[in-house]
Homo-oligomer: A and B are copies of this chain.
Amino acid sequence: MKKQIIVFALLCLVLNVVAQRPPAISSPDVNADNSITFRYFSKTAREVKLSGEFLKEPIALTKDTSGIWSVTVPPVTPDIYPYNFTVDGVGVADPNNTHIFANERFKRSIVDVKGDKPLVHSLQNVPHGKVSYHYYNSATLKTIRQLLVYTPPNFDASGKTQYPVLYLIHGGSDTEETWTKVGKANLIADNLIAQGKAKPMIIVMPYGNVRPAPMPDFTKDVVNDIVPFVEANYSVQADSKGRAVAGFSVGGGQTLNIGLTNTDKFAYICSYAPYTATDEFKKNFTDWKPDADKINKQLKLFTVSVGTEDFLYESVKQNLAMFNDKKIKVKPLIVSGGHTWMNCKLFLATSLQEIFK
Contacts and interface: CB of A to CB of B under 8 A. Distances in A.
Nearest to A20: B91
Interface string A34-71: 00000001111110000100000010000000000000
B7 A42 contact: no
Of listed A108, A135, A157, A314, residue having the most chain B CB within 10 A: A135
Of listed A125, A277, A314, residue having the most chain B CB within 10 A: A277
Contacts of A19: 84, 91, 105-106, 108
Contacts of A20: 51, 58, 84, 86, 89-91, 106
Contacts of A186: 133
Contact of A89 (B7, B43, B90): B43
Interface string A118-133: 0000010100101111
Interface stretch (A8-16, A191-199, A344-352): A8-16
Contacts of A10: 311
Contacts of A107: 93, 95
A193 to B, nearest CB: 14
B7 A315 contact: yes
A336 interface: no
Of listed A11, A88, A125, residue having the most chain B CB within 10 A: A11
Contacts of A14: 311, 339
Nearest to A4: B277
A92 to B, nearest CB: 6
A49 to B, nearest CB: 8
Given A21-B106, A311-B14, A130 B128 contact: no
A41 to B, nearest CB: 6
A8 B90 contact: no
Contacts of A130: 132-135, 149
Nearest to A89: B43
Of listed A4, A21, A149, residue having the most chain B CB within 10 A: A4
A137 interface: yes
Of listed A106, A123, A186, A282, residue having the most chain B CB within 10 A: A106
A4 B286 CA distance: 11
Given A20-B89, A21-B91, A130-B149, 17 more contacts: A3-B318, A7-B277, A8-B277, A11-B277, A11-B311, A14-B311, A22-B89, A43-B88, A44-B88, A130-B132, A130-B133, A130-B134, A131-B132, A131-B133, A132-B133, A133-B186, A157-B157
16 contacts: A4-B282, A5-B277, A7-B315, A20-B84, A20-B89, A20-B91, A21-B106, A22-B90, A44-B88, A45-B88, A93-B93, A98-B103, A100-B100, A128-B135, A132-B132, A157-B157
Which 8 residue pairs across A and B have the least CB separation, nearest first?
A: A20-B91, A44-B88, A157-B157, A19-B106, A128-B135, A132-B132, A4-B277, A8-B277
